[in-house]
Amino acid sequence: MKVCIAEKPSVARDIAEVIGAKERKDGYYEGNGYQVTWTFGHFCTLKEPHDYTEQWKFWRLEDLPMIPSSFGIKLIDNSGVQKQFKIIEQLVQHSEEVINCGDAGQEGELIQRWVLLKAQCTAPVKRLWISSLTEQAIREGFQKLKDADQYNNLYAAGSARAIGDWLLGMNATRLFTKKFAMGKTVLSIGRVQTPTLAMIVARQKEINAFVSEEYWELKTVYREVEFTATIDRIKVLDRAEKGLAYLKEHPFEVTSFEKKEGKEGNPKLFDLTALQVEANKKYAYSADDTLKYIQNLYEKKLVTYPRVDTTYLSEDLHPKIAGIMQDLTPYAALTAPILANPIPKLKTVFDDKKVTDHHAIIPTGIYPSNLGMEEKRIYDLVARRFIAAFYPECKISNTTILGKVGQVEFKVTGKQILEPGWKEVYANDVTPKKEGEEEEKILPVFEVGESGPHTPRIHQGRTTPPKAFTEATLLRAMETAGKQVDDEEMRELLKDNGIGRPSTRANIIETLFRRKYIEKRKKNIFATQTGIDLIDTIQTELLKSPELTGIWEGKLRQIEKGEYAMETFKQELIQMVIDLTIEVKTSNYKVITVRPDQPEEKEKEKEEKPKKEAKPKEPKKAVVIAEQQCPKCKAHPLKKGNTAYGCANFNVCGFKVPFEVFGKKLTDKQIADLLAKGKTGKIKGWKLPGAAGDTEGKLILNKGFELEVEKA
């Protein structure tokens, strides 16, 4: 028997139907020489620290770094998983050949390889590699089964990614938690989540530090067209008023009239990130929800494999495009102009060099029916983008008019659509405009040298802070490792060094929400104080730099291409973890936030000592003053200076607690009590102004946030 292993029961059912394995058994289908079984996602995971040694069960600084001599896998602790695995194990051990039918991507490869490894498979293994789940695709895939060894580099990259995440996540989370956190707080550190959080925190600090300023601009209306002065924004109203008076003394003169025809290129086909960005802009869908909807459409055979990072199609798909177009019957009015001529082999669409495992997301041509609103919207985005890619370019006319009033120069620009081209596909559809995209504005014809009266005015405005991240802009920032890139081609070049992968970015964002490091207000994403404090605590740039993490991602992609050795990558990681551990253990950075509203993470292991283990008592730890919020302004953390703890925004807020006050040097515990409770316990020996001798009493923080002694 040949044993096929799919990643989901529904996919197994589709495969079984096509290859004739139609007899339902317990946990598999059988027939026509095949047995078709399934996993349901991840069945195996890397072993946890305590699986290697009892010593690693407990969170202790002295046990770090944890570096296993070799990494092992284990079954997930779930009764359903274990039951189905036994079925797979039995089938595999009696098979003549195994066909890996997992999702055709890195994660799918890893899931299946680990299952086969755990099942001790000795049979030869083939690989089904398809880009859609239609009957035709499955049938063609079985006619062209690949040798499993062709995907060894893909498996190596998946393994390296998992090991890297384990080494950094397990060690750094314990390291920072035990060194800096108090109580049951867990400081969760991740290879991708931490630099992502760092980008959000950096943007938020820019917003918080931004001080809005008034400015004035000179504008004037000539022949019902408003022009703006090209001089720098004016910062002083008096100067603007003088400028206005000057303009009133001179006529307006046209100095240049330029009209150029141009083109707006067609939008690229969707990769997963671009689809998530568009769905967030248009429907405010989260990246995670969009991934679920497009995955459902894939499993319903309506679209091709979605977890992709290319916007191109392979050249061998060109002959199939007309057939897909013809089958898109709900869009017949839009596809008719394309089908009236042979389908062009556009370089902006077809490029084998820019397609790796899979091509861009496109419809399969199967008629969509019985879809919920969310899936229907996502399908519509994919279908229209596919159709638009084959339409003519949009032809436009750009007009620039320059003028002057006396010595002050003015300018206005306008854009006119001459031939809508691909924009016809969206004629009845409200699509979000690109950042900075102009509205269509038709300007009249002006003659150079013409002059006449005009109506000047002063426009008052205020500078605005940087925009907070939305999920759309955050996904783009992750894709380009934090670089602000609007150009499509440049974005393509940066993808290899983006942080995370298209299939994992949504989960990273959801993880940050779940751990209360970020929160959403309307469509905008903000870091919580807990998230800000965590990033402020991490002094190691490697852990929070999007660019450095992007370099790491680039090496993983090189492993996937066979251009970098997995073992080399692993040794680099081990050395990095060793260096990080030494650096943090020996650091004198004081720390950190204790947030009472932060949930305890499930992954934190028990910290109590083993009952049978006698251990000497550790010396009592000094109380540290957390970088908690300033009690006065409640907007900035406290920082430790040379003589006092003070608000990070001290120049504005003015709050501080000196180390020595009224002749007494305060202990860390006394300062901590003062900040947490507003007062200390009774203390003897206060030297108060005007008081004879020493005074006993509590140091309190009064309503004016000043220090005074409450006498006993």
Active site positions, annotated: 305
Residue 594: band (very low, low, confident or very high) from pLDDT cuts 50, 70, 90: very low
Question: Within a 10 A sphere around the Cβ of 456, how many other Cβ atoms?
Answer: 22
Task: Return the pLDDT at 598.
Answer: 43
CATH architecture of 214-266+394-462: Distorted Sandwich (2.70)
Q: How many distinct helices (H) and strands (E) make up the chain? A: 22, 27
Interval 43-80: pLDDT, tens: 999 999 999 999 999 999 999 999 999 999 999 999 99
Percent of the chain clearing pLDDT 90 (strictly above): 63
Assess if CATH 2.40.110.10 describes domain 161-208+467-585.
no
Task: Select from 111, 108, 160 the least CA-distant residue to 553.
Answer: 160
How far apart are the two ends of the chain, measured CA to CA in Å?
Answer: 89
Query: What is the CATH topology of the domain spanning 272-388?
Result: Topoisomerase I; domain 4 (1.10.290)
Domain spans, the chain? 2-144, 161-208+467-585, 214-266+394-462, 272-388, 638-711
Task: Return the pLDDT at 93.
Answer: 93
Interval 642-698: pLDDT, tens: 778 888 766 667 788 888 888 888 888 888 888 878 888 888 888 877 676 788 889
Question: What tokens were used for 246?
Answer: 């000057």
Q: Say which residues have a Cβ less than 8 Å from residue 169's Cβ, sequence separation at least 6.
A: 189, 190, 191
Rounded Cα distance, 93 and 87, in Å: 10
Rounded Cα distance, 383 and 361, in Å: 9
What b/e sequence results for 613-631 when a residue is b if at least 16 CB atoms lie within 10 Å of its CB, and e otherwise? eeeeeeeeeeeebbbbbbb
Interval 379-395: pLDDT, tens: 999 999 999 999 999 99
The rounded radius of gyration (Å) of the Cα atoms in the chain is 32
Question: What tokens were used for 515?
Answer: 């751990």
Task: Return the pLDDT at 623.
Answer: 45
Interval 335-351: pLDDT, tens: 999 999 999 999 999 99
Query: What is the CATH topology of the domain spanning 2-144?
Result: Rossmann fold (3.40.50)
Interval 447-479: pLDDT, tens: 999 999 999 999 999 999 999 999 999 999 998
399-407: average pLDDT: 96
